A and B are shown apart, each in its own frame.
Chain A
Amino acid sequence: MAKGHKFGGHARAYIKVWAALLVLTAVTVSVSYYDFGDWNAFVAMLVATVKGVLVCLFFMHLMYDNRVNQVVFISAFVFLAIFILLTGSDEWFRREMKPVKVTDTASAALGAADMEKLMKAAPELAAKGKEIYGVQCAACHGADGKGDGPAASALNPKPRDFTSGVWKLGGTPSQVFHTITHGSPGTSMAGFASVSVPDRWALVAYLRSLSPNKPEDTPETLKQSGVDKMLDQGPGTRDQGPKTTEAIPVSFAMKQYVQTDVGVTDLTVPPAGTDSVSLGQKIYQSDCMSCHGFQGKGGIPVSVVGFVSEKERATLKTKDFAVSRQTWTYNQAAFIDLVSNGLPGRNMPGFADYSAEEWSALYRYVQSLRAR
Chain B
Amino acid sequence: MTHGETVIAETKHKVPHHFDSAEQAFESSKLGLWLFLVTEILLFGGLFVAYVIFRGLYPDLFHTASQHLNKILGSINTVVLICSSLSMALAVDRVRQNDPNKAHQYMLVTLFFAACFMIIKYVEYTHKFHEGLLPGGNFTNAALAGDPKAPLFFSLYFMMTGLHGIHVLVGMGLITWVLIRSNRGEFSSSYYTPVELVGLYWHLVDLIWIYLFPLLYLIG
**CB–CB B214/A48 < 8 A:** yes
How many angstroms between the C-alpha atoms of A60 and B40 in the bound complex? 15
CB-CB < 8 A to B71: which residues of A?
29, 32
| With known contacts A1-B189, A87-B53, A25–B82 Cβ distance under 8 A | yes
Size band of the interface chain A makes with B? 35 or more
Asked if residues B52 and A14 are in contact (CB atoms below 8 Å), the reply is: no
In the complex the two chains form, is B219's CB within 8 Å of A56's CB?
A: no
Q: How far is the CA of A25 from the CA of B218 in the complex (A)?
A: 11
Q: In the complex, which range does the number of interface residues on chain B fall in?
A: 35 or more
Scoring A residues 22 to 59 as 1 if CB is less than 8 Å from chain B, else 0, what string do you get? 10010011001000000011001101100110011011
**Alpha-carbon gap, A2 to B213, bound state (A):** 37
B5 at the binding interface (Cβ < 8 Å): no
Judged by a CB distance under 8 angstroms, whether A99 is at the interface is no
Q: Which of A15, A41, A60 contacts B203 (CB under 8 A)?
A: A60
- Assess whether B190 is in contact with A88, with CB atoms less than 8 Å apart: no
Task: Determine if B79 and A68 form an interchain contact, defined as CB atoms under 8 angstroms apart.
Answer: no
B172-193 interface bits toward A, Cβ cutoff 8 Å, 1 = contact, 0 = none: 0000000000000000011100
Task: Select the stretch in B120-128, B157-165, B204-212 that faces chain A.
Answer: B204-212
CB contacts (< 8 Å) of A11 on chain B: these are 90, 93
A66 touches B27 (CB 8 A): yes
Which residue of the partner chain, among A10, A48, A60, A91, contacts B211 with CB atoms under 8 Å?
A48
Contact B211–A52 (Cβ < 8 Å):
yes
Tell me whether A28 and B89 are in contact in the complex, defined as CB-CB below 8 angstroms, given that A1-B190, A66-B27, A69-B31 are known contacts: no
- Are the C-beta atoms of B34 and A91 separated by less than 8 Å? no
For residue B60, CB closer than 8 A to chain A, the reply is no
**Complex contact B214–A44 (CB within 8 A):** yes
Q: Determine if B142 is an interface residue (Cβ-Cβ < 8 Å).
A: no
Query: In this assembly, does A371 line the interface, its C-beta being within 8 Å of a C-beta of chain B?
Result: no
- Please name the residue on chain A nearest to B53 by beta carbon: A91
How far apart are B156's CB and chain A's nearest CB, in angstroms?
15
A2-B190, A91-B53 are contacts. A59–B85 as well, Cβ < 8 Å?
yes
In the assembled complex, B104 has its CB within 8 A of some CB on chain A: no
Report the bound CA distance from A65 to B31 in whole Å: 10
Most buried by A among B97, B191, B214: B214
CB within 8 Å: A-B pair count: 127
Distance in angstroms between the alpha carbons of A52 and B79 in the assembled complex: 14
Q: Which residues of A lie under 8 Å from residue B89 when comparing CB positions?
A: 10, 14, 58-59
Chain B CB count within 10 A is highest, among A45, A73, A77, for A73
Question: Is B56 positioned at the interface, with any CB of A under 8 Å from its CB?
Answer: yes
Contact across chains for B34 and A73 when beta carbons are under 8 A apart = yes
Q: Which of B42, B52, B190, B203 contacts A76 (CB 8 A)?
A: B42
Decide yes or no: A76 and B31 within 8 Å by CB, A14-B86, A48-B211, A55-B207 being known contacts: no
Across-interface contacts of A75 in B (CB, < 8 A): 38
A351 within 8 A of B: no
| A294 vs B8: C-alpha distance when bound (angstroms) | 92
Complex Cα–Cα for A51 and B214 (A): 12
Once the chains bind, are B56 and A21 in contact (CB under 8 Å)?
Answer: no
Asked if A234 is at the interface of the complex by the 8 Å CB criterion, the answer is no
* Contact, CB under 8 Å: B83 / A72: no
Q: For B41, what are the chain A residues with a Cβ–Cβ distance below 8 Å?
A: 76-77, 80
A17 to chain B: which residues have CB within 8 Å? 86
A307 on interface, CB distance cutoff 8 Å: no
CB-CB under 8 A for A9 and B203, given A15-B86, A22-B79, A87-B52: no
Whether A72 pairs with B90 at a CB distance below 8 angstroms is no
Q: In the complex, what residues of A have CB within 8 A of residue B45's CB?
A: 79-80, 83-84
Q: How far is the CA of A8 from the CA of B82 in the complex (A)?
A: 22
Residues of B contacting A58 in the complex (Cβ-Cβ under 8 angstroms): 89
CA gap between A2 and B215 in the complex, in Å: 40
Return chain B residues, CB-CB under 8 Å to A79: 42, 45
For chain B residues 6-32, which have a beta carbon within 8 Å of chain A?
22-23, 26-27, 30-31
Chain B neighbourhood of A8, CB < 8 A: 97
Instruction: Decide: B214 and A45 in contact? CB cutoff 8 A.
Output: yes
CB <8 Å contact, B210 and A18: no
Expressed in whole angstroms, the Cα–Cα distance for A47 and B30 within the complex equals: 28
Interface presence of B1 (CB below 8 A): no
Which residues on B sit within 8 Å (CB–CB) of A306?
Answer: none
How far is A68 from B199 in the complex, measured between Cα atoms in Å?
A: 19
A92 at the interface (CB under 8 A from B): yes
The answer to whether B83 touches A18 (Cβ under 8 A) is yes
Q: Tell me the bound Cα distance from A48 to B212 in angstroms.
A: 9
Give the residues in chain A near B26, CB-CB below 8 Å. Answer: 1
A236 contacts the other chain (Cβ, under 8 Å)?
no
Is there a chain A Cβ closer than 8 Å to B75's Cβ?
Answer: yes
Task: Tell whether B116 is near chain A: CB-to-CB under 8 Å.
Answer: no
A to B CB contacts below 8 Å, 16 in the list: A1-B23, A1-B26, A9-B97, A14-B86, A18-B85, A48-B213, A52-B210, A52-B211, A55-B206, A56-B207, A59-B85, A69-B34, A73-B37, A88-B52, A88-B56, A91-B56
> Can you list the 6 inter-chain pairs with the closest CB atoms, starting with the nearest?
A44-B214, A76-B38, A32-B218, A2-B189, A18-B86, A76-B41
20 further contact pairs, Cβ within 8 A, besides A48-B213, A59-B199, A87-B52:
A1-B191, A4-B23, A9-B97, A11-B93, A14-B90, A15-B86, A17-B86, A25-B75, A25-B78, A25-B79, A44-B215, A45-B214, A69-B31, A73-B37, A76-B38, A77-B41, A79-B42, A80-B48, A83-B45, A87-B49
